[in-house]
Amino acid sequence: MKILPSPYYEEDNITIYHGDCREILPLLAPESIDLVLTDPPYGISYDTSHTKYKHSISRPAVTEDDKPFDPTPLLGFKKLIIWGGNCFSSRLPDSSAWLVWVKIVRQDANIRQSDCELAWTNCVGRARVFTHLWIGAYRDSESGERNFHPTQKPLALMRWCLGLLPKAQTILDPYLGSGTTLVAAKHLGKRGIGIEIEEKYCDISVQRLAQKVMAI
C-alpha cells in the first residue's frame, strides 16, 4: 500500500512534503495530478555566488546541481512543464512546443546572463513566448523584493504557465524551492502540492503562502 509521509504543511488546498521527491513521487497517483510545473536543478553547477561579477554575492549552491539531472521520475505524469529542459533535452522526449521566457528589454543589452530561459513541455500545442524583465534589480514585477532562492522564478511567470492550461486544477511541483509555483496556484484558486528536499525552503514557502497579497 502506498503511504505518503505526513505533510510538512497543509492548509488552504496547499500541501507541502519535506523530502526527496524521488522517494515521494512513486507514492502519488499520476492520475490525481493535472499538471507538473517545476524548475529542477539543471545539472550545470550554477555559480550562485556570481563570481563573474566584480562584487560577488555569497549564496548557497543549488542542491544536486553538481550532477546530471535525470527527469525520468517526472515522465510518469501526463502533463508537464519543466524549466531548464534545454540543459537535459537528450533525456527528454522530443517536443516542438517549447516555452520561452525572454528576460531582457533590448537585444543589444550588455548583460552577463542568458537573454531567455526555456521550458520543455508535452502539453502546450504551440511554442509560446513570455516577455518579462528580470535581470538583477531590474524587474517588471516584485520590484524591491529579495529572492529567497538563487534560481527563483518570477511569480508572474508561473501564473502565465498555469494560464496556458486553465483546466488544470491540481498542480504538482516536485522541486519546490521557495514556493513560487504554489503561490501562483493559490492565487488562481488551484490545488497545489509541493515537494522540497531542504527544510529551510519549506519554511520560506510556508511564509510566502501566508502573505495575503503579493506584487506580481
Q: Tell me, which fold does domain 9-46+59-210 have in CATH?
A: Rossmann fold (3.40.50)
Decide: 154 and 181 in contact? Cβ < 8 Å.
Answer: no
Whole-number pLDDT of residue 42: 93
Whole-number pLDDT of residue 53: 45
Whole-number pLDDT of residue 187: 96
Say which residue the cell 520590484 belongs to. 143
Q: ∠ at Cα 155 (91, 197), nearest 5°?
A: 55
Residue 102 falls in which region: left (phi positive, over 0), alpha (psi -120 to 50) or beta: beta
Pairing of the two strands 191-196 and 14-18: parallel
Whole-number pLDDT of residue 155: 96
Helix orientation angle between 180-187 and 155-164, rounded to the nearest 10 degrees? 60
Per-residue pLDDT tens digits of the chain, which is 216 residues long:
678 999 999 998 999 999 999 999 999 999 999 999 999 999 876 667 654 444 444 566 787 778 999 999 999 999 999 999 999 999 999 999 999 999 987 665 566 678 999 999 999 999 999 999 988 778 889 877 878 878 899 999 999 999 999 999 999 999 999 999 999 999 999 999 999 999 999 999 999 999 864 444
The Cα 52–Cα 84 span in angstroms is 21
> Residue 138: helix, strand or coil by DSSP?
strand
Chain segment 21-57, per-residue pLDDT in tens:
999 999 999 999 999 999 999 987 666 765 444 444 4
Whole-number pLDDT of residue 27: 96
